[in-house]
């Protein structure tokens, strides 16, 4: 089989990519808080979501490690056969393109709302999609190095959350579980949906240098980003109280409150810069994954020429998906928590079912259609 | 598109390459020397087209001067006194008892010459090229061979202070145009037989000697082999400066960023050799090339290592800041005055707005105008005869600064911005990086005028993507930062003290990577060991 992507990344870079993917979803917009009941104890929902995601991701990554040298697109066909496998692969690719578009639109809207109200949102999306596609075109290694640069910065900028400590009032956190556990389960669903964007690891795993560390670094990534999320939800409530639910971009508002001395006002420029870069890298990763996936699915010789068209598709989709900001928020809060888990978990469940059936039936017949099962030695799985 | 262009250029250059790599001195055909001295002399004269500086000195040697010999050299390429005392005098004196030309020849070759470097050849063209190289050839009647004596003695510049990389502390010696002197400057700093010097002759016409220098056992053999291969496949008529060589061997020929470090300082060369890099020294150029070069090397000055490490680290941090300022300051000014006035404190933005009120141009035009004027001044300052230097400073200070302000052509804030940018760009220790920054500033200004800070960010992001794809001889250009190597952070933005810098960079692979023995932090002597506890 032709090697389309020649890059190799370290497991640390792998972790940084996961951090970038996760933090993008809650940096500018914060769907987890906006328009929810029971904001005061939001961290409970976050904690539930993180635990569930940890379990689900453990399963997904372990399953991917059964095929250490294949991407999810490649093994979907050998597991499910040509027809079903192609459908599963296309669903995943479609989801990645779709998700890049959602992220791009969220970023564009935030830029227009917060900084440059006179510029059309399309400008920001086109520029970001072009740069991301350009980055994706250079291969996984470049995206990985970008993630390293950006992830470190984002985790550091999360420290900014501690700066408005004078405005914090921890009494705001107090009524715990005033509405029961119900709202928190809804929240947890959002968190799970966000973490399920990690379905993209199916594309990355075969290119990680040290596969034995993948599981460990996945867990670390989930825990770090989970910690940031919990801190975010606690700080937001401590500063804004119940008002936190009414803002579409609460984190941005929070950072805007920070002034250092009398002179350094509006230092939100630094976290916002980082978030923008973060978003670009995230889009780049998804564009890379879908280009490579498509190339592998249709047996192309190179994936690089696909990146710009997919970047264009992302731009187009991001404009067409939502008529306005309200629809976007509606998607993030009401649609996403059902749509994403059904799609991703459905595809992976299908793959797993196919895999188990093959494992039960095929080795006895010695079928050569599934050679990859033999490749997975016991030492490859932790 | 660019990529296709590069591929086409590459394919073109490959189809042109018809000779086997490694053979650089391939232009002359093999022509054997004749036994008859007159024929040889005529052919050599013909080879040089009777140039007036070719000296063909007939000497009568042997018993009673019975054997004719010919001493040939170029007048101004050799040390004439050396030729007369070490060659002519000796071959006349010593051969007085001999009659057989062959014996005379072998005796001269083996024992009579008062020289350290003597070679022999059968080939007429080799003789001609050796003469052109400043060597002296001795031919004897009846022998179809020539003795080549190393007698180079042309004028060269004295070793002096490096003009483009000056330091306060550290060696004051700079490389010069002579390869031999440069090698001696390097050898003197690393007195170790493992310091390897490989010679290449590059340039079909100019026959320029080029040396590849590295330390065996420290440098990565793969990288050195790659350098060797790239050097030996160059086919060009001449190499006058290492900059030309650089364009033939760099990894990214279309990048605005340099992927080979050029330096004028022998201590920088040796420091990098010790980190496992190699150096390429070109005869006729005082600039050595060092690779694999990473981005942080371009913002490193030798003093960082010689001054105390706190000072070194802080100054280096300052240099990174200056690099960023020189790249983005004018575009930041454009973006903030055009789009993001709210980012500045109100009094400041009011004062800027008041000044800008009278300026006829939009901020971006003003900025580009002033930057071009500044670039003009800078270029004029370099090209100007030294005597006229004052004129430029008067024009610069009075006309551009004062008069343009008074006339309301530019705002005072803009002048400050341009001056600050200029100063910052002079901070970059390696000029080749400063040049690329100068060029990249302009597209950033245009982006800033169109999209504000977002435009600057987009420009910087695409620049960073490009930097991340760059490699220098296989080593990622941003190596210790991305890909992140935790152990190497001690010599990037901060410089760790010498007793803690115990490892060489990662690309030195599996070779000796311990530099400093552990546990050498200096400590005061223990109290009970001091002889005079009362003090």
In a shared domain, residues B467 and B322: yes
The span from the CA of B374 to the CA of B371, in Å, is 5
Residue B347 contacts A, CB cutoff 8 Å: no
| In-domain check, residue B390 | yes
- How many percent of chain B have pLDDT more than 90? 27
**pLDDT attached to residue B188:** 93
Nearest Cα to Cα of residue B458 among B448, B467, B449? B448
Tell me, what DSSP letter sits at residue B155? Answer: -
B342 interaction partners in chain A (CB closer than 8 Å): 266
How confident is the prediction for chain B on average, in pLDDT?
A: 85
- Residue-wise pLDDT for B342-358, tens only, equals 778 788 888 888 888 88
Indicate the residue of B451, B455, B469 with minimum beta-carbon distance to A138: B469
> Which of B444, B468, B478, B489 should one mutate to test binding to chain A, selecting the residue with the greatest count of A CBs within 10 A?
B468
| Domain end (from B428, B443, B475) | B475
Lowest mean pLDDT among A21-25, A298-302, B394-398: B394-398
CATH superfamily of A11-363: Hydantoin permease (1.10.4160.10)
In a shared domain, residues B385 and B267: no
The span from the CA of B268 to the CA of B430, in Å, is 12
Nearest Cα to Cα of residue B234 among B464, B520, B17? B17
- Residue-wise pLDDT for A335-370, tens only, equals 888 899 899 999 999 998 988 888 887 665 444 444
DSSP B348-369: HHHHHHHHHTT-SS-HHHHHHH
| In-domain check, residue B425 | yes
Highest mean pLDDT among A248-252, B86-90, B207-211, B485-489: B207-211
Separate counts of helices (H) and strands (E) for chain B? 19, 12
> Which of A135, A144, A256 should one mutate to test binding to chain B, selecting the residue with the greatest count of B CBs within 10 A?
A135
In a shared domain, residues B363 and B288: no
Cβ of A148 and B478 within 8 Å? no
The span from the CA of B443 to the CA of B106, in Å, is 69
Cβ of A266 and B454 within 8 Å? no
Of B402 and A376, more confident: B402
Whether this model's pTM surpasses 0.90: no
In a shared domain, residues B250 and B323: no
A135 interaction partners in chain B (CB closer than 8 Å): 465
Q: Give the nearest chain A residue to B467 (CA atoms).
A: A142
Q: How far is CA A61 from the centre of its chain?
A: 15
| In-domain check, residue B528 | no
User: Measuring CA to CA, how many Å separate B335 from each of A111, A321, B391, B445, B450?
Assistant: 15, 31, 34, 8, 8
Domain ranges of chain A: 11-363
| In-domain check, residue B318 | yes
| In-domain check, residue B359 | yes
In a shared domain, residues B85 and B225: no
In a shared domain, residues B381 and B236: no
Of A377 and B33, more confident: B33
- How many percent of chain B have pLDDT more than 70? 92
Mean pLDDT value of segment B469-484: 87
| Domain end (from B272, B293, B314) | B293
Cβ of B484 and A127 within 8 Å? no
Nearest Cα to Cα of residue A13 among A271, A250, A207? A207
In a shared domain, residues B101 and B215: no
In a shared domain, residues B400 and B258: no
Q: Give the nearest chain B residue to A274 (CA atoms).
A: B457
Separate counts of helices (H) and strands (E) for chain A? 15, 0
Q: Above 60 in pLDDT, residue A376?
A: no
B452 interaction partners in chain A (CB closer than 8 Å): 115-116
**pLDDT attached to residue B24:** 39
B463 interaction partners in chain A (CB closer than 8 Å): none
The residue behind tokens 């080549």 is B148
| In-domain check, residue B336 | yes
Nearest Cα to Cα of residue B327 among B304, B359, B295? B295
Cβ of A269 and B457 within 8 Å? no
Where residue B27 falls among pLDDT bands split at 50, 70, 90?
very low
Cβ of A116 and B452 within 8 Å? yes
| Domain end (from B448, B475, B502) | B475
**pLDDT attached to residue A31:** 66
- Residue-wise pLDDT for A11-52, tens only, equals 899 999 998 888 877 776 676 666 666 667 778 888 898 999
In a shared domain, residues B352 and B449: yes
| In-domain check, residue B72 | yes
Question: What is the number of domains present in chain B?
Answer: 3
In a shared domain, residues B282 and B326: no
User: Measuring CA to CA, how many Å separate B502 from each of B295, B325, B498?
Assistant: 21, 33, 8
| In-domain check, residue B123 | yes
Tell me, what DSSP letter sits at residue B488? Answer: G
Chain A residues with CB under 8 Å of a chain B CB are 10, 12-13, 111, 115-116, 119, 123-124, 127-128, 131, 134-135, 138, 142, 144-146, 148-149, 152, 262-263, 265-266, 269, 273, 276-277, 280
Where residue A93 falls among pLDDT bands split at 50, 70, 90?
very high
- Residue-wise pLDDT for B172-199, tens only, equals 899 999 898 999 999 999 999 999 999 9
In a shared domain, residues B144 and B193: no
The span from the CA of B105 to the CA of B193, in Å, is 34
Domain, as residue range, for B42? 37-149
Indicate the residue of B343, B455, B465 with minimum beta-carbon distance to A266: B343
Residue B111 contacts A, CB cutoff 8 Å: no
In a shared domain, residues B395 and B428: yes
B105: Cβ–Cβ under 8 A, 6 or more apart, which residues? B140, B143, B145, B147
Q: Above 80 in pLDDT, residue B302?
A: yes
Predicted-complex ipTM score: 0.85
Where residue B19 falls among pLDDT bands split at 50, 70, 90?
very low
Distance from CA of B482 to the nearest CA of A (A): 5
The residue behind tokens 């006339």 is B407
């Amino acid at each position: 089989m032709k090697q389309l992507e020649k890059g190799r990344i370290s497991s640390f870079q792998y972790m940084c990519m996961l951090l970038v993917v996760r933090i993008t979803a809650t940096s500018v917009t914060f769907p987890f808080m906006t328009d929810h009941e029971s904001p005061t104890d939001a961290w409970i929902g976050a904690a539930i979501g993180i635990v569930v995601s940890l379990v689900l991701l453990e399963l997904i990554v372990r399953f991917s490690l059964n095929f250490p040298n294949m991407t999810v697109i490649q093994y979907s066909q050998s597991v499910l056969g040509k027809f079903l496998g192609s459908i599963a692969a296309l669903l995943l690719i479609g989801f990645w393109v779709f998700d890049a578009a959602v992220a791009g639109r969220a970023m564009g809207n935030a830029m227009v709302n917060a900084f440059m109200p006179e510029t059309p949102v399309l400008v920001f999306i086109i520029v970001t999609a072009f740069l991301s596609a350009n980055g994706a075109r250079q291969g996984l290694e470049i995206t990985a190095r970008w993630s390293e640069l950006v992830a470190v910065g984002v985790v550091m900028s999360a420290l900014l959350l501690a700066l408005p400590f004078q405005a914090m009032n921890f009494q705001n956190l107090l009524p715990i579980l005033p509405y029961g556990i119900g709202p928190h389960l809804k929240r947890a669903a959002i968190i799970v949906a966000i973490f399920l964007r990690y379905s993209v690891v199916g594309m990355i795993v075969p290119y990680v240098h040290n596969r034995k560390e993948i599981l460990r670094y996945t867990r670390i990534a989930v825990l770090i980003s989970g910690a940031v999320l919990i801190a975010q939800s606690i700080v937001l409530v401590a500063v804004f109280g119940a008002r936190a639910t009414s803002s579409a971009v609460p984190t941005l508002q929070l950072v805007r409150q920070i002034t250092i001395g009398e002179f350094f006002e509006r230092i939100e420029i630094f976290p916002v810069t980082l978030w923008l870069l973060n978003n670009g890298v995230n889009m780049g990763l998804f564009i890379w994954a879908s280009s490579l996936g498509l190339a592998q699915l249709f047996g192309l010789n190179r994936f690089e020429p696909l990146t710009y068209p997919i970047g264009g598709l992302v731009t187009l989709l991001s404009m067409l998906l939502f008529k306005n900001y309200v629809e976007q928020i509606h998607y993030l809060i009401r649609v996403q928590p059902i749509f994403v888990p059904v799609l991703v978990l459905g595809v992976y469940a299908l793959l797993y079912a196919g895999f188990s059936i093959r494992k039960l039936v095929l080795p006895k017949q010695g079928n050569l259609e599934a050679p990859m099962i033999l490749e997975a030695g016991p030492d490859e799985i932790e | 598109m660019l990529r296709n262009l590069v591929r086409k250029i590459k394919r073109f250059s490959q189809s042109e390459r018809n000779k086997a790599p490694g053979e650089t001195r391939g232009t002359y055909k093999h022509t054997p020397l004749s036994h008859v001295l007159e024929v040889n002399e005529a052919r050599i004269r013909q080879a040089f087209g009777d140039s007036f500086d070719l000296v063909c000195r007939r000497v009568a040697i042997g018993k009673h001067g019975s054997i004719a010999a010919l001493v040939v050299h170029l007048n101004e390429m050799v040390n004439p006194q050396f030729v007369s005392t070490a060659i002519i005098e000796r071959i006349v004196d010593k051969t007085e008892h001999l009659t057989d030309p062959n014996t005379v020849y072998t005796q001269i070759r083996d024992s009579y010459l008062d020289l350290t470097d003597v070679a022999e050849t059968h080939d007429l063209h080799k003789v001609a090229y050796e003469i052109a190289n400043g060597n002296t050839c001795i031919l004897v009647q009846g022998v179809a061979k020539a003795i080549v004596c190393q007698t180079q003695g042309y004028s060269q510049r004295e070793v002096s202070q490096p003009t483009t990389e000056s330091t306060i502390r550290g060696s004051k010696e700079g490389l010069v145009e002579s390869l031999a002197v440069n090698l001696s400057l390097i050898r003197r700093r690393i007195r170790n037989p493992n310091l390897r010097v490989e010679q290449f002759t590059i340039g079909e016409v100019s026959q320029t000697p080029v040396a590849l220098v590295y330390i065996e056992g420290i440098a990565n053999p793969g990288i050195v082999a790659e350098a060797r291969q790239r050097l030996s496949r160059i086919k060009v008529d001449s190499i006058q400066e290492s900059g030309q060589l650089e364009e033939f061997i760099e990894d990214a020929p279309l990048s605005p960023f340099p992927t080979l470090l050029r330096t004028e300082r022998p201590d920088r060369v040796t420091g990098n050799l010790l980190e496992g890099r190699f150096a390429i020294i070109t005869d006729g150029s005082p600039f050595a090339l060092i690779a694999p070069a990473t981005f942080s090397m371009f913002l490193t000055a030798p003093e960082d290592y010689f001054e105390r490490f706190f000072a070194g680290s802080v100054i280096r941090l300052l240099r990174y800041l200056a690099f960023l300022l020189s790249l983005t300051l004018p575009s930041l000014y454009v973006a903030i005055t055009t789009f993001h006035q709210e980012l500045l404190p109100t009094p400041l933005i009011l004062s800027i707005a008041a000044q800008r009120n009278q300026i006829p141009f939009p901020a971006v035009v003003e900025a580009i105008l002033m930057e071009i004027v500044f670039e003009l001044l800078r270029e004029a300052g370099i090209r100007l005869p030294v005597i006229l230097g004052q004129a430029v400073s008067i024009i610069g200070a009075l006309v551009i600064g004062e008069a343009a302000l008074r006339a309301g052509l530019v705002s005072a804030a803009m002048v400050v911005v341009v001056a600050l940018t200029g100063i910052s760009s002079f901070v970059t220790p390696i000029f080749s990086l400063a040049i690329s920054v100068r060029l990249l500033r302009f597209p950033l200004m245009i982006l800033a005028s169109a999209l504000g800070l977002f435009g600057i960010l987009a420009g910087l992001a695409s620049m960073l993507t490009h930097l991340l794809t760059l490699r220098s001889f296989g080593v990622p250009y941003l190596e210790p930062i991305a890909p992140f190597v935790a152990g190497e952070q001690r010599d990037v933005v901060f410089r760790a003290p010498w007793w803690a810098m115990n490892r060489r960079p990662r690309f030195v692979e599996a070779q000796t990577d311990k530099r400093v023995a552990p546990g050498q932090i200096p400590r005061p002597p223990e109290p009970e060991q001091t002889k005079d506890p009362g003090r």
